[in-house]
A and B are shown apart, each in its own frame.
Chain A
Amino acid sequence: MNGVLEALSSPALRLTLEVAALTTLALMLLAPPLAWWLATTRSRWRGLCEAIVALPLVLPPTVLGFYLLILMNPDGVLTRALGVVGFDGQLSFSRSGLVLASILYSLPFAVQPLVSTFAGVPRALLEAAQTLGASLPDRFISVVLPLSRRGFVTAATLTFAHTVGEFGVVLMVGGNIPGVTQMISVAIFDHVEALEYTQAHVLSLIMLGFSLGVLTLVYSLQRGISVAGDPRS
């Protein structure tokens, strides 16, 4: 029973939720403009950009982790780039670094659902709004957003869930500091390695239940089945 309580009071649980929430928030601000551009552009760079966005889906997390480890050291390109805007400190082994890594790692999970939902917004409606004098931000807020609500929920849920399940990247750039960078997946890894199977079971079961719940929610939304809190869908 001690093992169960220890696992449940693990700071890794809270930290994981925090990092996932921050990542989701950041991506819900960054992803829509990118997704809108990808859904509407006729640029010949579109294919390349879509490929770059999709890279984290196919690259081993170790590749991303390895590059980030190099870019995030105190003299690294990313650290210096953020220093220009006033960031002071080291990215690797810090929560900011973890959120930044998660944003890159979860990018396709935010962008791809938005691209497909934006592509389904009828152009005629937008043109009608334009002829009625609506500005671009106005058109986005009053036409696109209401029509793509489901896409946003899907994108946010998948981003959150994918970040919660992050392992390889965190293992490589996190430094496994309890309460700062030790996320739940790494905590499970540690418990298994240390032969603490009870704690590993508890945390794994939480992850299993959580992931199943999230995916059920996402697929129900996609099928248009009514889900609590979204009576109109």
Chain B
Amino acid sequence: MRATAPTVTDRTPLCVAGGVRRFPPRYWRVIGLLIMVFGHGPGGAQHDDTPLRIAVAANFAPVLATVAERFTAQGGHRVVWSAAASGALYAQIRQGAPFDIYLSADVMRPEKIHAAGLASGPVFGYATGVLVLYAPGQNIKDDIAEELARLGDGYLAMANPRIAPYGAAAQQVLDQIRSQRGELTLRTAMGSSIGAAFHFVATGNASHGFVALSQLHSMNPPADPANWRTVPGAGHAPLTQAGVVLARSTQLRASHAFRAFLLAPEQQQYIVDSGYAAPAGDS
């Protein structure tokens, strides 16, 4: 970027007769200065302050925001993140998107990245999601199956089982109830993510919904405990969320430093407080 200003000056004599004459030399100096200032990022610091770029599953983005802030405050890199559905981020990473770390909402996708030789270091579990049945404004029964049986005409919202881990877990719970108690007629509305499923319930379009505990935690004011029940973890495969450091990262050291920071007890406690269960650890 610094080279820009001299380049312009070098070329100036060649075009003196042309349009450049119309702009006083001061103009080019200002342009050069602007490029140097803004092209270099704020502060113009001497050391490399390229931020860490993290691709994060949407459900974890609010938690990552705080963790990243703490990481930077304790002398680590600045962090910027892109929150989206894990599958969308996976597709982007396979197409060469410039991320340093991928925090997925499942284990399968990071493992595929690892198997494709695109990972640096192991696949690591960083959080385990908790599935809850949520029905705003209703005194919900302790037994999930009994509660669903009285759903009647209302819709049950859930994430799409084919693409969202929380949806797959909800589907397993429903399958298990059906196999134990027989027929269970439900009208289900599928959200493209656990976020969409939550919105269906929050806006009253669905009376009940399988959502994430972390979503209830981030509500303000918090959801009334009478309105939701944790779905027993035995009813579905664990909702382990795993990540990988990407081999194409230009900042491998900083990336691994962030991974260690995320997995350290202090941040793990914060993750649990935010509505996740303790992670299963490295897989």
Contact = CB atoms under 8 A, between A and B. Distances in A.
Nearest to B190: A176
Contact of B205 (A90, A189, A192, A193): A90
Interface residues of B, number: 24
Interface majority SS on A: helix, strand, loop or mixed?
loop
B204 A177 contact: no
B116 to A, nearest CB: 12
A189 B164 CA distance: 12
B160 A176 contact: yes
Q: Which residue of B163, B200, B205 has the most chain A CB atoms within 10 A of its CB atom?
A: B205
Given A93-B189, A176-B192, A195-B90, A190 B162 contact: yes
A177 to B, nearest CB: 7
A193 B189 contact: no
B189 A75 contact: no
B162 to A, nearest CB: 5
Interface string A176-201: 11000000001001101111000000
Contact of B204 (A73, A186, A190, A194): A73
Interface in B235-253: none
Contacts of B203: 69-70, 73
Contacts of A73: 203-205
B257 interface: no
B264 interface: no
B163 A193 contact: yes
A72 interface: yes
Interface string B192-214: 10001001100111100000000
B188 to A, nearest CB: 7
A194 B87 contact: yes
B85 interface: yes
Contact of A190 (B155, B160, B200, B206): B160
B260 interface: no
Interface string B220-236: 00000000000000000
Interface in B35-89: 85, 87-88
Given A72-B205, A175-B155, 13 more contacts: A69-B199, A92-B189, A92-B205, A171-B196, A173-B205, A175-B205, A176-B160, A176-B190, A190-B162, A193-B87, A193-B192, A194-B163, A195-B91
8 contacts: A69-B203, A73-B204, A173-B205, A175-B155, A175-B157, A176-B192, A190-B160, A192-B87
9 nearest A-B residue pairs (beta carbon): A175-B189, A193-B87, A193-B163, A176-B190, A73-B204, A92-B205, A73-B205, A93-B189, A194-B162
